[in-house]
Structures are given as C-alpha cells and as structure tokens.
Structure 1
C-alpha cells in the first residue's frame, strides 16, 4: 500500500515539475562545439563547417540555460534556408521544435513537429516530441482551469462573506 501511495505522489510531482525525457546538454559540451565551429571556420570545407554548426545547434537547444536555447533557435532559423537535403531540413526543423518546446512555446513546437512528420511520418523522435508537446498543452490547460476555478471560488467566497456580514 505504501508503495502505491509513493508512486502516486511521484506521479503528481512529475506532473507539476514538467520533466521531459529529452537529453540535456551541459556547458562543457557547448564550449567544445563552439571550439569546433571556430576551428571549422578557419579553412575547413563547407560540409565540416555545416556539421560543426549543426552539432552546436543541437547542444544549444538541449541546454538548461534559456539564453543558450534561444541562441540555438536563432542559429537553426538562420541556417534552415541553407538545407541541401530533406534529411538536413528535417533535422533542423526537429531541433527547432525541441528548442521551442524547451522555451515553453508549445504551439510553435507542435507546428514544427507536424512539419517533421510530413517529411517522415514514422520518425520516432518526432512522434515522441509530438506526444510530449501535446501532454504539456493538456497539462497547462488543466492547471489553467484549476487556477481559474480557484479564482472564481475566491470571488464567490468573498461575495458570500460580504453578504453574510450585511445580514
């Protein structure tokens, strides 16, 4: 019985924490990627430059720092028009969707993940992200309704108390 209560409490905690199953990237990895981009800019082929920028973009949108995520989004948006293949375009759109998800811009993330699924309908990563986005949208709606119900309850309680004092 105690185990079931513990699982229930953990599930409620996870619901409100909003933990996701996508990888996080630490500052050291980002710094290594930035170094790779700088080295690639000094005479490497365009393909190596593009790959190092893609790795840096991946690291940035998977960062725990909001500024890094924003920077990754900007890099991906700027490079999206330079996508030579459908695979590159799909990867960039997916990473943009992850960035917007991490920035709590769920509707934008959902739109982008839909674009990914138009390119590759069975892509597991995109399907997982789509479910996570939809879960967050649902959860935010439930929390919003709870806040609204609480506010309405407080107003009704205040009105009832005011009327009780008059009588």
Structure 2
C-alpha cells in the first residue's frame, strides 16, 4: 500500500512540475479508502470534505466508470457550492474528468471558467495546456486522415483515367 501511495504522490509531483502528459492517476485502493471515509463521516462538514476527496479520486481513475461517477457527483453538487473556492475546485475536477473522457472542448470550457475565477492558478493553467495539446494533436491527426483520403480518391481517379487511355 505504501508503494502505491508513493507512486501516486510521484505522479502528482510530476504533474505540477509541468509534464502535462502526466496528470496523476488514482487506483482502486485509494478510491475504496475515500468511499470508506464518506461512509464513516460523522458531521456534514466531514461528509462534504470526504465527498470532495472521493470526487477527486474518481476523476483521476483509469477506470472510465469511476471517471463518469466522479463527473456525476461533481455536477450534482456544483449548485450547492458554498464559496467561489469550492466552485473553482469542482469545476477543475470536472475539467479533469472530461479530459479523461476525451471531451477536450468541454474540459477547455471548464478550465477556462476556473481561470476566470482565479487567473493565476498554476494547476488550471497546466491542465489547459494539456487540453490544448490534445486538441492540436487530434486536429493534426484529423488533417492527416483527410489528406490521405483525398490522396486515395485522386489516386483512384488517376488510375481509372490511365486504364481508359
């Protein structure tokens, strides 16, 4: 268990050092611990804090079902945010969840909203760079596929014309 926690903290540290491709992952043991913490919470404040930690763990999971569960929890609790700081945190976690799901435009929209609340938030800026890198990469792949398709069509037409001649 200690080794897993150390790997987790290493991944968080590398994310903050600027490696945008290394957003931290969370495993099922940590999620299970957070779920237990929610069940054992005595006061409403403890429960709110535990639910936030669980939401964080879920959207950082490698399991798509966990990510979707975390997104649903955050969306359901967003209207009940007690401060702009809590709203900012929830929006950021939603952005991470949508990033994990590959919904980069939605992730960018949410992280932009975070940056409206706190323009100098380094964590949000790092996520925004990761999102923009993915959008640019996906755009280049799309252009490459379209170019290849056009080339194949033109090649087919040219081959047909050569055969007719």
Give the match's secondary structure for 2:79: helix
Q: Partner of 2:21 in structure 1? A: 20
Q: Partner of 1:11 in structure 2? A: none
Instruction: Return the alpha-carbon distance in structure 2 between the equivalents of residues 162 and 35 of structure 1.
Output: 67
Instruction: Return the alpha-carbon distance in structure 2 between the equivalents of residues 39 and 45 of structure 1.
Output: 9
Q: Partner of 2:91 in structure 1? A: 93
Unpaired runs of at least 5, structure 2: 1-19
Instruction: Return the alpha-carbon distance in structure 1 between the equivalents of residues 65 and 155 of structure 2.
Output: 43
- TM-score in terms of structure 1 length: 0.85
Superposed displacement of residue 74, structure 1? 0.3
The 5 A counterparts of 1:12-51 are 20-40=21-41, 44-51=42-49
For residues 139-161 of structure 1, give each alpha carbon's deviation from its aligned partner in whole angstroms, at most 9, with x where no partner exists.
11100000000001111111111
Instruction: Return the alpha-carbon distance in structure 1 between the equivalents of residues 73 and 146 of structure 2.
Output: 38
Residues 1:158 and 2:156 aligned together? yes
Superposed displacement of residue 35, structure 1? 1.1
Q: Residue 137 of structure 1 is aligned with which of 112, 135, 138?
A: 135
For residues 53-85 of structure 1, give each alpha carbon's deviation from its aligned partner in whole angstroms, at most 9, with x where no partner exists.
001100000001111111100000001111111
Q: Partner of 1:112 in structure 2? A: 110
Superposed displacement of residue 166, structure 1? 1.3
| Segments of 4+ moved more than 2 angstroms | none
Superposed displacement of residue 116, structure 1? 0.5
Unpaired runs of at least 5, structure 1: 1-18
For residues 80-135 of structure 1, give each alpha carbon's deviation from its aligned partner in whole angstroms, at most 9, with x where no partner exists.
11111111111000000000011111111111101100111000000001111111
Give the match's secondary structure for 1:82: coil
Say how many residue pairs are matched: 146
